[in-house]
Structure 1
Amino acid sequence: MAHEEREENTEQDQELEQKPTDTLEIGQHDDLEDETETEESHEVDYSQLTKEELIAALEKELATLKAETRTSAHVKRADTVVREVRPVLDQLKRGEWEEARGKYIADNESEEGFEYKHEAQTQRIEELCREIRGQKTSYYQSLEKDKEKNFAVKTALLQRLRELLEAEESRETDASDMKTSWEEFKKIQEEWKAAGNIASPHNGTLWATYNALIDRYFSNRNIYFELKELDRKRNAELKAELCEKLESLVATLAERPMSKEVLNEANQIFEEYKHVGPAPREIQEELWQRFKKSMDVLYDARRNQSDEQKKSMAEIYQAKSKIYEDIVPFTSFTSGSINDWNAKTKEILAFQDQWVAVKGPMPREEGKELSKKFWAALKAFFHNKGEFFKQLEAKREQNLKAKTALCEEVEEIIATGEDNPQNTQRVIEFQKKWKAIGQVPEKFKDSIYARFKQACDAYFNQKRAKNKEVERDFEENLAKKKELCERIEAAAEQDATIAQLNHFKQEWAALGFVPKKDMQAIQKRYIAAINAYVGAIGKLSSKEREQVVLESEVEMVREGETNRGLYRKESDIRRKISQLESDIAVWENNIQFFGNSKGSNKLKADFERRIEKASEQLNELKHQLSIIQEAI
């Protein structure tokens, strides 16, 4: 019996010596899992996401933390996401604030009274960050509470186990007592296994106490080796099943890529393996090596995948570096042309699209620095463009003031109700000035043009309305003058008298203007009618008739022209008379040199026709001159 007890102690010592080895391997895999989680958490460049995408990403992390299945890895990942989103959020808030402040100063010419509330999406991002931090705090607080609770549970279990041992050592036990004791012992073991982790400073002490009490329990029973071997055989079966389960998981890599889900499933199996007790000594190491081999295959696949990701990240970094180098010259671009700025904007936006199109993560530190420089270059270009358009907007404001002044000028003319030629010419000049003035701010473009056009249209519509009334009067006067001409023409066939002639003249003079297009025709008809009437007066000599006809023609000239116009006509007629007299003298002189020949006679006849025609024109011009001189 003493020999058996020594074997029991030796076996127990070997089992206890085996546990640190398993624990070391467990810690190694846990570290690799944390490293994997950290790597995956940096695969997204949040500075490239829109507000909607940032909200979606944060809501996803928050939903994970609120789920009952949340783990420490989930909490770590969510916290990392918040740390990376926070600088992006700060930049967004700063940009919105500066933009609102700039607009407020532009509108009010002062910063006094400026207040700003961030956009709803920006506020939502900040709210989600706070909620995630709150969930993180809540999780670790609950974790600490659970550990304290588990510590109390395990302490109570140890006390129950001591009491069980003390009860067995203090009394004789029969078969029924042994069975009851064994059931209580297994129940304590199951409850111990179900209890969670506790604070690390107490973990080793509790486990050492627990193992010592277990060993003491078996050593106090005659069936220690039998029960222990049965338990270890059962543990061996469970560990073999877990090995097979892990090997099946490894086999699936032939059909699907390595992923976080596969790794999580493997770690779950590993957690189960850790909690299975020791197997028989002869197969304990064999089972562990079998299990470890499968785990190594999975983590090697994960490491290889990480190497490929690093290579891909380097390629993405190079591609984006090239795009950044291409946009650097844009930061110093300058021009006074809107078209040039718009063209450059299209080019730089095309580079931005290229940047966004290059998907995937970059090396963390280098990538963050490159992204920062890229977006800073874009910001510099658009800042310079904004300064250009600010100056342009100031010029457009001046143009708006100038065009507003023109609108007011036309509206003042309309208010007077005067549509004389001077005002008409002023409105036309305003229209020319309007075309010469440059563009106004876009939001006033249509309204200021509509105001000016409405004012000009109103003026000319007013003028047209009055002209229509005048035209109606002119048409009435034309009808009356035609009727008068008809009466004069009819009277010429009857007894004509000087008194009746004077009456006709007075009646003609009393009638107003006629349409311009009919003026010459009606005047010619009137003169012809007067001439015919004068010719019908039998008591007048030829000289008196000429004088009466001349007076009638003079009246016509006075009716159609001002004194300035008459002087101008007189000057033109004198010039034409002088030219004709000179031409006639030259032609008459040339005729003297022609001999008597067939060719010269023909040429002489041509010159005579010219002289005759010119003489007729000369007489007509002299007659017109005499009429104008009378009128003057």
Structure 2
Amino acid sequence: MEVNETNRPLTEEQTNAAETLVPTVEQSTENVKYEPKHTKEEVIQRLKEINENACEADKQEIDLLKQTFYKLHKSEQEVNRKTFIEAGGDANSFIPQSDPLEPELKSILSEIKEKRNSMIAAIEKEKEENLQKKLDILEKMKSITESSEDAGKNYSEFKSLQQEWNEIKLIPANKVNEIWKTYQLYNEKFYDMLKLNNEFREYDFKKNLELKTHICEAAEKLADEPDVISAFHQLQKLHQEFREIGPVAKEMRESIWNRFKAASTAVNRRHQKHFEDLKEQEQNNLDQKTVICEIAEAMEYDKFTTFTDWEDKTQEILALQAKWKTIGYAPQKMNLKIFERFRAACDEFFKRKAEFFKTAKENMALNLEKKKELCEKAEALKDSTAWKETAEILAKLQKEWKTVGPVPKKYSDAVWKRFIGACDYFFEQKAKATSSQRSEELENLSKKEAIIKQVAELEKSEVYDETIGEKLKSIIAEWNSIGFVPFKEKDRLYKEFRNLVNSIFDKANISATEKKLNSYKSGLSKEANLYKEREKLVRIYERIKNEIKTYENNLGFLNSSSKKGNSLVNDIARKIEKLKNDLNLTLKKIEAIDETMNN
């Protein structure tokens, strides 16, 4: 009888190939996600569940739960801080409160850590003990392979050593390949020594082929397993079982190995593609979240000057937050960072908004006081009979009213009615006292309406010759010579007259300076404070002269030979030319005032 080569191990080439197909468990769980916790109580409860079986706990989940707890705690502190500030407290005086759940959290984490450390120490100790056991088995196998006795007599003992070897599991990772190769070597030597009969050998090969065929079939079915991660872990177990089964007939060894390797490759490719797709999706999520952060960070706060501006932008921020919630995880190393970036941008927005509303309320309170003062001034003047002087003062108060900003909405109507009521009362009394002027104002109204008709006819002309400008000047002079009209008609008449004159200016292509001058002249009237206007224009005239002189002096310091210098020279020259035009226009305005005052 010949000796059967039962349990002949894989060749070194096959073993190395198998090892390259099997990633470590740590790699396969890199991107596993966990159910998010929304409260600190949920975090504590989950940690308690983990603590019940701490030896099988996932450190990644524990770290994530710890981060979640402190993020929630920090968010609560931010809310408390904002509430404290909004209640009038000083931001620098805010003292964060300790979390009552934190001691319990630390206690549970400490228990889990102790249990895991004990487990790890026990596992390492077990690995070292297993390593020594396997080294002892190898020594016995070596002794058998070097024995001169009939190998058949040692067959049962060798089989027992193989069984004992397979029952020993974990050993230090850095010794796995080395000790496995030695084990393979002694197996090969032993089976080469065996001289079992063909019938026994074929039976053993057939049994091993059946077992390995079943493993191949199981591995092939994993290609259709919906859960890619589960399929990968099941494959690791099948690889371990495949290793532990003895050899098959020599002519079947390569084919059965290739079949198992092909099935393994299919599972590993699905596993690899799953994580590649996951990484691609996470990167896409990161890109989307980065864009949202950039939008939130690009808020132009200096341009938000009204309540409406801030409310509009608040809706934008809320829309960004809603969009953020629809986007999945970013890559693990960036997920927390991108969230902190977005939260910082949102916090900055709402901080700025709170500051604006606080400042706006303070300003509105000051504006209310200013408007109350204007009301008091108007009320003090409403019974005055110095009609002209008082009317001018009230007109100035009305202009000043327009420069004062808004007041709180609940006071807005009341303070306005108080102010306009005092003004209206004075002008009504003035109208009654000056009723003798009524007929003259109505006559002036008729004259100005006649002039408007005249200008309207002139505006309809299709051909404009050089006399148009002179006619228009004569009409404007006549308009300015007419006295007061009823107060309620004044703005309407002036608007109609000005629009018609501007239309004629446009059609006749009168120069911009002349147009401004004529428009200015049309607005002059003796009832205005012409002395004050003239003094203002004289000051403007002197200022423009000084600016022209300064620019002309600066030209002497510039080197126009360089490109930059030449550009600056041209720019200054254009400014000087514009200033000279403004100077000429200002001088003509002064002359117009003088002419009006002398008529």
TM-score, with length taken from structure 1: 0.47
Structure with bigger helix share is 1
* CA radius of gyration, larger in: 1
